[in-house]
Structure 1
Amino acid sequence: MTTTSAGQKRVRLAADPADFARLGLNPLSTAQFEDGLRTDPNRRGSYEWWYFDASLDDGAKLVVGFYTKNPATPGTRLAPFVNINLDLPDGRSFERTFAADPEQFSASTDGCDVRIGDNRFSGDLQTYRVSASVENITVNVTLSGTVPAWRPATGYEMFARNGVEKTFAWFVAVPNGRVDAEYSVDGQVVKTTGVGYHDHNWGDAPLRELMHNWYWGRAQVGPYSLIAAHITAEKAYGYEPLTTLHLARDGVVVADDGTKVAVTTDRIGIDAPTGKPVADILTYDYRAGPDRFTITFEREETLLRTRFIDVVPPAAKLLARVMRFDAAYLRFTGTLALRRYLDDVLVEEYTETKALWELMYLGKTRLPVT
């Protein structure tokens, strides 16, 4: 078992008044422009994406992403693509990617309105529509927020080295929402409802230069909705951790200070297809005065594995192998247990059996200490 806490030195969440002023952000509210285009997509090293996921009432799980370029290898100019992952209740899984020409991309800086070919991702911090069609998969979704838009402080995570700070930014437009979905596989149309989420990320340096790995997950469990993330910085930043937690009860935020969270991983094994260490159990332990919440993800199935060397352009594969570039992405499903304690007495307990979370492993493999 390994345990870390949320101490920060070279890695910090930009949360000072000067940070808000410099970034033009209001510490008390969010604005639509924060979900608009925040980078120059033609600048080498920058990246940006808009993400949606849903757990649907028919048992399906859906993830859709709109990207300005591959965030793992962003040294190109604009190279937009749409990615769809659809896991059906009958056990079938589909991953489809539409790679577009640069002229097929457009995005507003005033708010979320992103178009890649005939695919569109748009909304106003309350209601979003996602329409995407790739090969034999088509999805049309409406997401209606039930929890207000949120970001941890400014949303900018800063990585300092040699007097220079690099950025990874995160904006959660819909922490939790109702979903009306229509999807089709080979022309067979299904209409259903569910629970969904939308966030937006961007940065100014290649992710693999800043981060070694991260766990990220979100869920609806009883009256609570939650988002939890735990980043481990790259070696150049001392493998320092940065933890984020957003926990709301009936739409009201009850905990969102990552510095009060300790993260524990247990039952770590090597995922054979990717060679990455994966924790079967991941726990976030939040303490603030008499209040304590424990949030435990327990893996039951790996829904998706992607080795990035398998998806880089053919011309870059040889260089990637020479550099031992072995980044991987894994998406899990399983059980989430939330417990609330007051003065160390258990007062609430809820379980969700359809939780989704992920491990993005960008750095070279580090075996767990036994």
Structure 2
Amino acid sequence: MTDATARLGSRDQDFEQLGIDRSAVRPWEDGARTDGAPGTYEWWYFDAHLDDGAKLVVVFLTKQFTDITQPLTPMIRLELELPDGTAHNKIATFPAGQFTASSEGCDVRIGDHSFSGDLHTYRITAELDGVSVDVTLTGEVPPWRPGTGHWWFGPGRHKLFAWLPAVPQGVVRATYQVGESAPVTTGGSGYHDHNWGNAPVNELINHWYWARGEAGPYTVIASHITAEKRYADTALPVFLLAKDGRVLADDGSRVTFETLGTYRDGTTGKPVAGITRYRYRDGDDTYTVSFVRERDLAAAKLIDNLAGPKKLAARLAGFDGAYLRFTGELRVEHRTGSTLVDTHAAPAIWELMYLGPTHDRPRQGSGD
């Protein structure tokens, strides 16, 4: 028996009630949307492919989103993969008194670390356990959101999952340093988004694939979210395709999704697609976006982030959430009718987040 299906807030009354402009994203939307109190979560995310071959992820969080009952417990996650493949994955927790965040725009401070910007230019600085980064991100594709960027689950609008891609694609200038090695300064391409909500994500969403990348003149953000069983396993597609900085396609209802080459991951035990494919049709035009896995950047059981009684309770409850991050090739293909118009390929990063029980028998074309 289900409570109701989930839905994206995209109706006129949704925009009106939230005070959101359908035609433009405002700076306050990237500001603090929660106060960090129990029952809420929020994070600001950045990733980049750097020109020297390094890959970088920085996330500022109000708390570990797998346990939102806790009060404000600010965290920073930093993942740096060097050009030679050496990975440095760091997580640090800070006292609540070391956290500040503006509600008027993105200006987040955790201790001496900062994540701030104005929907166009961002500065991110962090240093964890001997790994330091100093990043400037300048947007090339304007801020965007699917509908209001708010998904509601169940009757009414009480359970919320919200998302804002403030910089779908931007130019990066980054300096990073590991230990006593010489600092490295390089350019690259990056992305920033912002998530928040007021209900445990694992009670709303079973799993999602999320990806972003650039190939030739194209920028892609693509996600396939599958709601929990109580919300009828509702598929919640997200799709943005821009070309030369101009949005070409962003109507999730026109997207079909399929998984190919599914295998069982040895670390997490989760079924993982070797290829995830999004196909967007608009009249005679078809855009096919494929992410082809080459290797893992991360594979972890979420229970390993818990400790003490919480970890024991999660184990007794059978919680088996997992997080996997991949790197590989993004392919974008545009056809008009049967005629190939153009095709481009480039490296990309994407993820699979499992929050609910594993669907052991994936259905091709659904991602479930």
TM normalised by structure 1 equals 0.95
Corresponding residue number in structure 2 for 1:57: 51
Partner amino acid, structure 2, of 1:365: T
1:293 and 2:276 correspond: no
Pairwise CA RMSD: 1.1
Aligned counterpart, 2:162 = 169
Q: Is the CA contact 2:333–2:343 (under 8 Å) kept in the aligned structure 1? A: yes
Say if 2:306 is the partner of 1:315. no
1:261 aligns with 2:255: yes
Letter in 2 for 1:350: H
Structure 1 residues 39-79: Cα deviation after superposition (integer angstroms, max 9, x where no partner) = 1211x221000000000000000000000011122111101
Corresponding position of 1:125: 119
Which among 161, 169, 176 is matched to residue 183 of structure 1?
176
Q: Which residue of 2 aligns with 1:20?
A: 15
Q: Quote how far apart the aligned CAs of 1:369 are.
A: 4.5
- Counterpart Cα distance in 2 of 1:96 and 1:224: 32
Where do 4+ consecutive residues of structure 1 move more than 4 Å? none
Q: Distance in 2 between matches of 1:198 and 1:227?
A: 11
Partners of 1:159 and 1:52 in 2: how far apart?
27
Task: State the partner residue of 1:227.
Answer: 221
Query: d(CA) in 1 for partners of 2:79 and 2:136?
Result: 17
1:367 lines up with 2:349 in the alignment: no
Residues 295-324 of structure 1: CA deviation (Å, up to 9, x unaligned): 011111011012111111323111111001
SS at match of 1:71: coil
Give the structure 1 partner of residue 319 of structure 2.
325
**Number of residue pairs the alignment of both structures matches:** 359
1:189-234 superposed Cα distances (whole Å, 9 cap, x missing partner) = 1110000000000011000000000000000100001100110000
Can you list the C-alpha shifts for 1:136-191, whole angstroms capped at 9, x where unaligned?
Answer: 10000000000111111100011124x56411111111000000000000132111
2: CA distance between counterparts of 1:288 and 1:73? 41
Name 2:153's counterpart in structure 1: 159
CA distance in 1, matches of 2:300, 2:133: 22
Partner SS, residue 141 of structure 2? coil
The answer to whether the 8 Å contact 1:268/1:368 transfers is: no
1:10 maps to 2:38: no
- Residue identity over aligned pairs, in percent, reads 49
One-letter code aligned to 2:198: D
Distance 2:236 2:266 in 1: 27
User: What secondary structure, in the 3-state scheme, does the structure 2 residue paired with 1:340 have?
Assistant: strand
Unaligned runs of 5+ in 2: 364-368
1:41 paired to 2:41: no
Which residue in 2 is equivalent to 1:338?
A: 332
Structure 1 counterpart of 2:241: 247
